[in-house]
Structure 1
Amino acid sequence: MSLGHACVDVYQGAVAALVPFFVAERALSYAAASGIVLAASLLSSVVQPLFGALTDRRAMPWLLPLSALTAGVGVALSGVCGSYPLTLAAVAVSGIGVAAYHPEAARAARAVASGGNTGMGWFSLGGNVGFVLAPLLVAAVMAGGGLHASPLLVVPAVAGAGLCAAAVRASRARPAPGPGAARAGTDDWPSFLRLSGAVVCRSVVFVGLSAFVSLYVRERVGGGDVAGTAALCVLYTGGAVGTVLGGRLADRFGRLPVVRGAYALTVLAVAGVVFVPGPAVYLFVAVTSAGLYVPFSLHVTLGQDYLPGRVGTASGVTLGLTVSVGGLAAPALGALADAASLRTALVPLIALPALGGLLLSGLREPAPAERLAPAG
């Protein structure tokens, strides 16, 4: 499931990685380029809770391979669409595929991980690996033919569909849960909504950096496409490390203390990205990435435990909706960059982790789920 997650989340990272190529080959403004990120996020943001609600009613394991293919086909077509509106439509289709995948996948992963933080950390690591590979994959494909080579980007989707189908078959081979396996507990909506607000703050920071850190680092240190791609890889690689570290730290110190500490670290790290000159920007990008990703899988398990009766909805929101909704801020950041500078556009991102930390203050650790029925 972790490998399948990697193949799907390649397409979340690929949209941001394609932005510099859309700017270069189609002479798009920053605002227009960020609109592509918005298109990938908008429909995903709207439909993800719907998929979560559906999976609360019944298991839908067939969504996993189908959504992997949908995510890949949309991105693969985006570079060969003949107009800007068609490009937006293609990446929107990809966003729907991503939206359909995450609620069911998170439910199934929590089941096979037996509710543990470390197990969910490994599942989330798969998604982060996909983000890490996305700029490398996009750069390799674009080097061979520019945007017209984008159909080659469908390959991970085919692999992901096969991996997801294999995971579904394996989960069906597991013993069926007994009649006492259903989740029990009272849904804590106030705590869940505060957690979701914090994740939105984290999401805006991540999406904003994903969309513009490549262009920003090229502007700050030179080095052209190589420097920009390297910065994006650092952003995603630090996330891969942070996700696994987050699960281990939470098992030792508790989830909420770790999440609050990560948000505080992110404030300082983003300030370093914006204000510290020279190649040191790479170090601060790495620290920012770790701060953003240490709480990533913990958001999911906290959300599931705050809503024990609506695990699919909680998964869809914490793993999908609040991540995708960050794309809604991308056009505003792009417009600010066009009006002033990229550096000015990134300054507001410093305050958002602080706001997220405030939303998390006072939350209590929910009782972890002891049993969660598999989704197969």
Structure 2
Amino acid sequence: MDVYQGAVAALVPFFVAELAYTYAAASGIVLAASLLSSVAQPFFGALTDRHPIPWLLPVSTVFGGLGVALSGIGGSYALTLLFVALSGIGVAAYHPESARVARVASKGSHRSMGWFSLGGNVGFALAPLLVTVVIASGGLRWSPLLILPALVGSVLTLPVLRALEKAPRAEGGQGAAEGRDDWVSFVRLSLAVVCRSIAFVGLSTFIAFHAREQTDGTTAAGTAALFVLYLGGAVGTVVGSNLAHRWDRVTVVSMSYLVTVAAVAGVVFVPGPAIYLFVALTSIGLYVPFSLQVTLAQDYLPTRVGTAGGITLGLTVSVGGLTSPVIGTIADATSLRTALMPLIVMPALSWLLFRTLPEPAVPQRLLGDRGEDATLNAVGTSTEHSRL
């Protein structure tokens, strides 16, 4: 599914090249994909809190792929916006239910949730390569071929549905709810994720153009930068889930955001091939928190894990797309480097919001047979730590 979130940004340079869109118009496509997804994901999250809907996994996967596949043959800017918006709805339907299922399967394990998030990040990383191979070969008219990963992915979810039918219904719905919801901490976490999203979506939308300017390269140079941005996310997710077994999640996330400030500054200001190093560091820094923020959100709202997943994976992540037209407008009026400068501030704001958050405990029903080590990691780390 996350192939299609990455595919929208990967398609932007081709829309600019073939259809002569401005930066602002091209970023509007990212906005269209994000807007409906932003509005719809909390709705789907609340729905799955009341009634688990496993069949959403294959259906939403196909829906997300179909919108992207049709976007290149829309024939008009309005139809392109419509199709990527429909893809955004598919993404919105997928994430809350998939996060709920992953939470059940992982029994609250940070490492398992990290592997779950890794799958999505690998999809992000593959998106620029997939789009480049297809669209560079035949132009936007070949975009219907991009439906193929969705068809494969939907088939792969079918064994999961069969396993869920046989498993006892211990999670999802009101009967499984336990614990007290910490809305204050959840709102602060959500604001931090919004700042992270602005930085990541802004870079993913314009990094291909910026890398070409910084290296005097071709379209391939831009595609390489986008690939590095997404691939670094896969690395960061695994690193983050492993670090959370040594330190508490809030400390790991806050440290990562602080380091990312310097990395984003390097992306914006350092010329030449070194930009790829800073793109990789930025991506790792922004993705170390990724799966940890999902489990934190679910532990802050233990009675509303679908809502927590929908907002953390959906609304707050998609909000970054709302700022892309602003960045594009500034770039058209000044320069792309000037437009990207505010992104340096975003991880700093995330760090400020995170540094004094409490570390919640994983609900006991999820610990199951994870043993003493899991209990120490999930509960023992809730003691007060010094923050950066």
Same fold (TM over 0.5): yes
Say if 2:97 is the partner of 1:104.
Answer: yes
Query: For the Cα contact (< 8 Å) 1:181–1:372, is it kept in 2?
Result: no
Correspondence for 1:136: 129
Following the alignment from structure 2 to structure 1, what is the Cα–Cα distance between the partners of residues 145 and 9? 17
Higher relative contact order (CA 8 A, sep 6+): 1
Determine which of 196, 201, 204 is the counterpart of 2:195.
201
Following the alignment from structure 1 to structure 2, what is the Cα–Cα distance between the partners of residues 145 and 73? 18
Correspondence for 1:149: 142
Query: For the Cα contact (< 8 Å) 2:251–2:355, is it kept in 1?
Result: no
**Offset of residue 177 of structure 1:** 3.5
Determine which of 37, 50, 64 is the counterpart of 1:44.
37
Matches within 5 A, 1:62-211: 62-177=55-170, 182-211=176-205
Residue 61 of structure 2 aligns with an amino acid whose one-letter code is A
Correspondence for 1:261: 255
Please identify, of 353-362 and 240-249, the stretch whose mean Cα deviation from structure 2 is larger: 353-362
Query: For the Cα contact (< 8 Å) 2:3–2:126, is it kept in 1?
Result: yes
Say if 2:37 is the partner of 1:34.
Answer: no
Query: For the Cα contact (< 8 Å) 2:95–2:310, is it kept in 1?
Result: yes
Query: Secondary structure of 1:251's partner?
Result: coil
State the aligned residue count.
Answer: 366
Residue 263 of structure 1 aligns with an amino acid whose one-letter code is Y
Residue 89 of structure 1 aligns with an amino acid whose one-letter code is L
Please identify, of 180-189 and 304-313, the stretch whose mean Cα deviation from structure 2 is larger: 180-189
Deviations 1:266-312 (A, max 9, x none): 10100001111211100000000000000000010000000011000
Following the alignment from structure 1 to structure 2, what is the Cα–Cα distance between the partners of residues 316 and 181? 20
Please identify, of 208-217 and 354-363, the stretch whose mean Cα deviation from structure 2 is larger: 354-363
Correspondence for 1:216: 210
Deviations 1:167-188 (A, max 9, x none): 1112223344399982411100
Deviations 1:150-197 (A, max 9, x none): 000000000111112221112223344399982411100000000000
Q: Which runs of 4+ in 1 moved over 6 A?
A: 178-181
Residue 141 of structure 1 aligns with an amino acid whose one-letter code is V
User: TM-score scaled by structure 2?
Assistant: 0.92
**Offset of residue 368 of structure 1:** 1.1
Gaps (5+ residues) in structure 1? 1-7
Following the alignment from structure 2 to structure 1, what is the Cα–Cα distance between the partners of residues 165 and 337? 51
Correspondence for 2:341: 347
Query: Secondary structure of 1:252's partner?
Result: coil
Following the alignment from structure 1 to structure 2, what is the Cα–Cα distance between the partners of residues 209 and 248? 26
Gaps (5+ residues) in structure 2? 368-388
Query: For the Cα contact (< 8 Å) 1:183–1:369, is it kept in 2?
Result: no
Correspondence for 2:285: 291
Distance verdict in 2 for CA 1:103–1:180, change over 3 Å: closer
Following the alignment from structure 2 to structure 1, what is the Cα–Cα distance between the partners of residues 274 and 244? 29
Query: For the Cα contact (< 8 Å) 2:174–2:303, is it kept in 1?
Result: no
RMSD of the TM alignment (CA)? 1.5
Query: For the Cα contact (< 8 Å) 1:182–1:372, is it kept in 2?
Result: no
Distance verdict in 2 for CA 1:46–1:144, change over 3 Å: same
Following the alignment from structure 1 to structure 2, what is the Cα–Cα distance between the partners of residues 118 and 273? 29
Correspondence for 2:246: 252
**Offset of residue 46 of structure 1:** 0.5
Following the alignment from structure 2 to structure 1, what is the Cα–Cα distance between the partners of residues 35 and 366? 30
Query: Secondary structure of 2:365's partner?
Result: coil
**Offset of residue 372 of structure 1:** 4.8
